[in-house]
Amino acid sequence: MSGCLKLLPSEELERLEISNDMDSRSPIKELVYATESDRTSTEGIFNLSTVYLEGARFNLFTGNQTLEQREQTFKVTERAEVHCGFYSKRGGFRVSDEDKSYMLTCKVVVSTCAFGGGDDLYQPIGMSETSLQKVCYVAFWDEITLAAQEAQGNKVDDSHFIGKWRIIIVRDLPFRDQRLNGKIPKMLPHRLFPNSRYSIWVDSKSQFRRDPLGVLEALLWRSNHELAISEHGARSSVYDEAKAVVKKNKATPEEVKVQLTQYHQDGLPEDKRFNGKKALAEASIIVRKHTPTTNLFMCLWFNEVVRFTSRDQLSFPYVLWRLKGLNRINMFPVCTRKDLVNSMGHIRKAKPLTNSK
């Protein structure tokens, strides 16, 4: 097979088993997620106007992480406590009990999402029969996307599937910014699929076109990595990326300045490299093993995206630099990313949430 991604031959892919190794090398043995401490206040009705905490980007889904708490979470200890979404029962991002039960069955999951009527759903291709039996393909939609897709004739069947994708409808999205809502399935699959040992995230603009177990073998198992993500194609410096983000109107100059000022104060180097490779990532594909260390990394990354800007490539190198326990990361080249997916581009702009409740 040509290209950068060297998968096993098809007959070997059919014989692949999900790797069972228990990772004893993780410096973190137990990861505890912060939740609302006052149990009596967890009753109530979700309302977007009351979800946001006073004067902050944080809300009842995220909890209000202080700067002091933020600082503590970067210190690697055997027992780590961290904010990681799902803070309050009133925080939103609700799925049905039937969907929760399905999600509990997943040991390996390929997931995507489209909220606010965003992108079309691209059917995955190139998977082995073994993967079809052992891997969950899950697409998270909200009711706006469901209506938009049904209007185009894309009906969810009685088993909640469209093709290979199991459709899960999310209600009460916690953020007005749909980009932030999309970070929940992207960064927190360990919260959504607590029994899953591996996950592959695919942005909605992409069609996944490789065998998922083969991808895990090629990018994680073969090289003993626990997280794999693409290098950025154009830049390697966070500070250069920040300028590009502002120039392309992906975030306001003010919010980017707040983020970069904090990172500069914390000592983030100008041109951070990781094991000789760019630390700046392009996160349209995230392949990972669910370990305490990678779970903590994703929680920290999610918290940075909530605190500062939704442009996750700005916070990735910072979290990688701060969290000293995550060493087995595979920063693969852009050509490998192109081997993993067909890039379709964004079809339509997602509608922002309005406070209509």
The one-character DSSP state at 42 is: G
For the chain, percent of residues with pLDDT exceeding 90: 62
Return the domain boundaries, the chain.
10-343
| Span 235-254, pLDDT tens digits | 777 888 888 889 888 889 99
The one-character DSSP state at 99 is: H
Is 262's pLDDT higher than 60? yes
Please report the pLDDT score of residue 240 as a whole number.
83
Is 154's pLDDT higher than 60? yes
Of the pLDDT bands very low, low, confident and very high (cuts 50, 70, 90), residue 46 is low
Average pLDDT score over the chain: 87
Please report the pLDDT score of residue 354 as a whole number.
52
What topology is assigned to 10-343 in CATH?
Spore Coat Polysaccharide Biosynthesis Protein SpsA; Chain A (3.90.550)
**Quick one: tokens of 203?**
């942005």
Q: CA 174, CA 89: separation in Å to the nearest integer? A: 11
| Span 296-344, pLDDT tens digits | 999 999 999 999 998 898 999 999 999 987 888 999 998 999 989 988 7
**Quick one: tokens of 180?**
């932030």
Of the pLDDT bands very low, low, confident and very high (cuts 50, 70, 90), residue 289 is very high
Residues 167-192 have a mean pLDDT of 96
Please report the pLDDT score of residue 38 as a whole number.
43
Element (H, E) at 265: helix 253-266
Q: CA 118, CA 16: separation in Å to the nearest integer? A: 35
Please report the pLDDT score of residue 345 as a whole number.
66
Which residues, listed in sequence order, are joined to residue 331 by a DSSP beta bridge? 229
**Quick one: tokens of 317?**
């190198």
Q: Looking at the whole model, is its pTM more than 0.85?
A: yes
Q: How far is CA 262 from CA 77, 97, 357, in A?
A: 24, 41, 35
